[in-house]
Amino acid sequence: MATSTHEGPAPHPPTTAREGPAAIGLEGVVKTYRSGQETVAAVRGIDLAVHQGEFFSLLGPSGCGKTTTMRMIAGFEEPTSGTVRLAGRDVTGVPPDRRDVNMVFQSYALFPHMSVADNVAFGLRRKNVPKDEVRRRVGEALDLVELSGLHRRRPGRLSGGQQQRVALARALVNRPGALLLDEPLGALDLKLRQAMQIELKRIQREVGITFVYVTHDQSEALTMSDRIAVMNEGVVEQLGPPAQIYERPASRFVAGFIGTSNLLSGTVTTGVGEYARVEFDGIGHVLVRTDQTSGSAVDVTVRPEKVHIGADEPAPGMSRLRGTVGEVVYLGASTHYTVVLANGAEVVVFRQNSSDASNAAERGDQVWLSWRPDHSYALPR
């Protein structure tokens, strides 16, 4: 798990995101493999700069190239072409044990016959760090992950979340310049995974080390990250802060992969002030900011929680569509509706439940859907 031999300064407060050279830089990185007579591209020319002290996530479906990208940063894979930099230094071709990074995997790889403290101390002892220094640094690392009272236990007597913390402490005790985490929460149940997301972010803030986190779980990435790179088929489809990724996806893939999004195909007709009007076969229209010209075919997307559902005709200046309630799913805090438009398209609506259920819609009801113009956006089709 631990690949660093660096013995740098003690943990420090988070740095300003753009202070000094990038903690990790990828320049035109390509990775291809031979499969029989074919060449398969796992990564197709990635350029990235991960800032010092940043929690950065590589997010995407299985096979998109995110783990291959992380393994190239760690040195376990070499790029077919391109450059990998750590703190401005070209480390392309440098072996893993000479890179100032540590890696935490989904399988924690703890030594079952060793105590928690000995597992954490393992890397330090291999580097012949003095015993007093080992004891002090192990204590600091266990305090950080809130396991100081369990230092004598064996891994088999720990819960999954506690084992994950031990693996994290073992990586952090070496004080790497960056920590790489490859889906480390994947083996935990949902409730524990959600709790550990908050803990990981807390720990990252406290130590101020750059974290690069690989996941296919959108909620994990949105919860923890300062920035997210959404990957698909070996390329970065979009890079930005979580709110930007969620609210303004740059492609159909990002809109569909991040959370739930409604995608509606229509045609730009006329402009209405700062917005363009997109018609939907006589069943309504959407007002949206777009640089597409009149007559252009576009896909309009809007998040389900932004859509209002009701029997009354919407006020002027709102996007509006008419349809029939198809499915109603009660989920306690909210109710999810599927509304079928006359052209066969479906719109999903998430409605928060309140004590007033008088305006709840039922299956078969004719309803209006409406939302503010700035809650939708258009993608060229």
**In this predicted model, what pLDDT tens digit does every residue of 4-13 receive, in sequence order?**
333 333 433 3
What is the average pLDDT value for the chain, to the nearest integer?
A: 88
Average confidence (pLDDT) over 335-351: 94
Instruction: Check: CB of residue 6 under 8 Å from CB of residue 129.
Output: no
Give the per-residue SS3 of 18-31.
CCCCCCEEEEEEEE
What is the rounded CA–CA span in Å between residue 34 and residue 45? 17
* pLDDT of 320: 95
Average confidence (pLDDT) over 229-249: 95
Q: Is pLDDT of 16 > 60?
A: no
Q: Hey, what are 123's tokens?
A: 């890397």
Burial class (CB in 10 A: 0-12, 13-18, 19+), 80: middle
Q: Is pLDDT of 289 > 50?
A: yes
Nearest-10 Cα torsion for 187, 72, 242, 44: -120
139 residue type, one letter: G
Q: Is pLDDT of 307 > 90?
A: yes
Instruction: Check: CB of residue 249 under 8 Å from CB of residue 255.
Output: yes
Average confidence (pLDDT) over 311-339: 94
pLDDT in tens, 119-138: 999 888 877 788 898 899 99
Q: Tell me the percentage of the chain whose pLDDT exceeds 90.
A: 55
* pLDDT of 5: 35
What is the rounded CA–CA span in Å between residue 191 and residue 117? 27
Q: Hey, what are 333's tokens?
A: 């805090």
**What pTM was estimated for this model as a whole?**
0.85
Average confidence (pLDDT) over 214-219: 93
* CB-facing half-sphere around the CA of 329: CA atoms within 13 A: 9
* pLDDT of 357: 59
What is the rounded CA–CA span in Å between residue 185 and residue 217? 10
DSSP state, residue 345: -
Bridge partners of residue 56, in order along the sequence: 212, 227
Nearest to 182 by CA among 341, 58, 4, 42: 58
Average confidence (pLDDT) over 271-283: 81
State the maximum Cα–Cα separation within the chain, in Å, rounded to a whole number.
78
What is the rounded CA–CA span in Å between residue 15 and residue 139? 24
Instruction: Check: CB of residue 79 under 8 Å from CB of residue 45.
Output: no
Distances (CA, A) of 104 to 2, 116, 150: 7, 16, 20
Domain 262-380 has CATH 2.40.50.100: yes
What is the rounded CA–CA span in Å between residue 243 and residue 347? 22
What region, left, alpha or beta, does residue 51 occupy, with left being phi > 0 and alpha being psi -120 to 50 degrees? beta
pLDDT in tens, 25-80: 999 999 999 888 889 999 999 999 999 999 999 999 999 999 999 999 999 999 99
Q: How many helical (H) and strand (E) elements, i.e. helices and strands, does the chain have? A: 8, 20
Domain ranges of the chain: 24-253, 262-380
What is the rounded CA–CA span in Å between residue 325 and residue 346? 10
Task: Tell me the CATH number of domain 24-253, given options 3.90.79.10, 3.40.50.300, 3.20.20.60, 3.40.47.10.
Answer: 3.40.50.300
DSSP state, residue 289: B
